[in-house]
Amino acid sequence: MARDYTLNRIPSASRSEINYARELNEQQFAAVTCPPGPSLVIAGAGSGKTRTLTHRVAYLLDNGIPQGNILLLTFTNKAAREMLERVEALINSDTKEIWGGTFHSVGNRILRRHASSLGWTSNYSIMDREDQKDVLKTVIGESDIDTKATRFPKPEVLADIFSLSQNTGQSVSDLVETRYPYFDHLADTISKLQEAYEEKKKEINSMDFDDLLVKALFLFHEHPEIREMYQRQFEWVLVDEYQDTNQIQAELIALLAAPQNNLMVVGDDAQSIYSWRGADFRNILEFQDTYENARKFVIETNYRSVPGILTLANAAIASNTEQIKKDLAPYRAGAGVLPALAEVQSPNEQAAFVAQRILELRDEGIELNEMAVLYRAHYHSMEIQMELTNRGIPFQITSGLRFFEQAHIKDAAAFMKITCNRKDEVAFKRIVNMLPGVGAKSADSLWQQWLQSPGADREAKSMFSDYMLDFKVPAKAKPGYEQLVYTLDELIDEEFQPRRPAEMMPSIMGGVYEDYLQSKFSNWENRKQDLQQLQKYSENFTKLDEFLSQLSLLAGQDAAGATQEEPDSEAVCLSTVHQAKGLEWKVVFLVWLADGMFPNNRVLDEDSEDESGLEEERRLFYVALTRAMDELYLTYPLVWHGAFNGDVLQTPSRFLSEFPTDLVEEWRIGMAW
């Protein structure tokens, strides 16, 4: 019979001088000093989540827990570095033995030690997105898939499908049916391709980013002795932003924390906004059901915002039925100014209001980098970018490329450019490169054929189809090539002159380009909305050359600003709400608060009995409100030109009707001209 024998822990050689009761508020102190076992810390916006987590690590060290027995999991390397640096400052010692880092970095560290158990070698390569795309191109080339018969998803879209499948546990077939229905007829083919991709990765001793989690989990399931070794090592597990975990991450946490379950997860269910990339909201909601006898701590004192903003935020999230109830309480004294609600006539007037108010606030002493304009989707920023550019107000984009630098905007412009300048080689090649089977060599061949035809003459009086239909075209490209040529025909009038730019956009989208968007980009619907905004902007121009010149000038100003601007120079931040999570500014403008925009149409079109999408949109709205420290401006335009469906009368966002009107100050916007 085996005998149990317990090793006593050696007391810590040195203890920090932290007075936890003095440095923490009552709610934080209770969480930091809680006894062993599972614990859920719900840390509301601006309530000192990082402070709580770092003091918990320091508290464990002060109580004799060896650094090597602590695992701290985060979602970004920046967060991991910041937390460990703060712990070092607290304990006045290094933290090099703590296992701290992102889920993926910890997964990689484990796999490097045990790769041979899975059939890889420890020097496996980690593929970035470009590497992954190249491997998928190879796999497609080696398969018996007939990509000529139909427009097949591009490697980057396949990578998104495979990643989402891995992180949600859904089969590729189910995922295609629910999220990529336009590829439903290819579901079986895509599933087979995923199998071939998995075999290829092992063959070339490479892993993609998702493998660092999936393979680590597989390792623990297949090799209990390895799992048990890490379970003994990681006596204490702490997890940041638990509301953002997916199924794979939650299972990894559960395996590593077992059997003692000295697990502390910190997060805020009201800020769970990433279901579209696989995050599972139920992980945090059901934590106490998953872990028996788990303690719950709710930290509600907000150190960021004035009371008026917090009162509005509390009211805004109250309509959600699936939530852990909390009531943010202000630490800051004084009521502050009420959030402003401004109804404007049009998107251009909205942009003018934001820009003018930014200049007024700067004159009042608030620096530009202390202000932000937030929106639900990137295309909502187009008019604001143009207005800030025209007024010389510097801005930085955290939600992606500036509007006129984006690939799909340049694609649409390329169609227009070739009708205006039939010698534009760059535009011509950009268009034909959209076709499957057309690479650099075949694009150059088509260009040479075009140059040798009378249609390429600057003063040619001909349709594009008069000559281009006779060109020698790669077999794979033929199905789409004819449609592309006829699309170009639609862009010129009976006099063989370019049509007005606003008239061109429906033809561009109705031709080959929408199919190209769907196969090339996983967020093609957002990009289509960008193009709708571009059409609205184009209505200000009757001549195509003037419109294209303005696009080039705006893109040039964007590029010049990007190269000349110092990283820390004063500039307004423009960001989607998703990108703004975790950040804060003295002044926040939240724009486009209209139904169909925020919340977005996709959610409003869902089954009315399923409120999960709408509740996530409301959480996103809550995140936006709680980014503001001192002043908050809420705006929406009454009329939006939907480009492909004419002027649309906007309905104010339903979120604006879910709180009492006395929580905001109505601003009536008038024009001085």
**How many angstroms separate the CA atoms of 365 and 344, rounded?**
26
Q: What average pLDDT values come out for the chain (673 residues) when binned by 10 residues? A: 73 73 96 96 94 95 93 89 90 89 90 91 82 86 72 85 88 87 86 91 87 94 96 96 94 94 96 89 94 95 95 96 93 86 94 96 96 93 90 84 76 87 84 84 88 81 88 84 89 87 85 80 77 80 79 54 47 94 95 94 74 93 97 93 65 95 93 66
Catalytic residue among 210, 240, 269, 617: 240
Beta bridge partners of 395: 572
Catalytic residue among 27, 243, 271, 406: 271
pLDDT at 645: 54
Q: Which amino acid is at 244?
A: D
Q: Report the residue count for the chain.
A: 673
The contacts of residue 178 (CB under 8 Å, 6+ apart) are 170
Active site residue 240: yes
pLDDT at 328: 94
pLDDT at 340: 97
Per DSSP (E only), the strands in 274-348 are 295-299, 301-302, 329-330, 340-344
**How many angstroms separate the CA atoms of 378 and 87, rounded?**
37
pLDDT at 148: 60
Active site residue 49: yes
Q: What is the largest CA-CA distance in the chain?
A: 98
Active site residue 627: yes
pTM: 0.80
Active site residue 429: no
Catalytic residue among 208, 210, 241, 411: 241
Burial class (CB in 10 A: 0-12, 13-18, 19+), 384: buried
The contacts of residue 441 (CB under 8 Å, 6+ apart) are none
pLDDT at 11: 55
Catalytic residue among 27, 28, 49, 619: 49
**How many angstroms separate the CA atoms of 413 and 424, rounded?**
12
pLDDT at 548: 80
Catalytic residue among 627, 630, 631, 650: 627
pLDDT at 408: 85
pLDDT at 406: 78
- 71-117 residue pLDDT tens: 999 988 888 889 999 999 998 888 889 999 889 989 989 998 999 99
pLDDT at 501: 86
- Nearest of 296, 302, 295 to residue 42 by alpha carbon: 296
Catalytic residue among 50, 170, 290, 301: 50
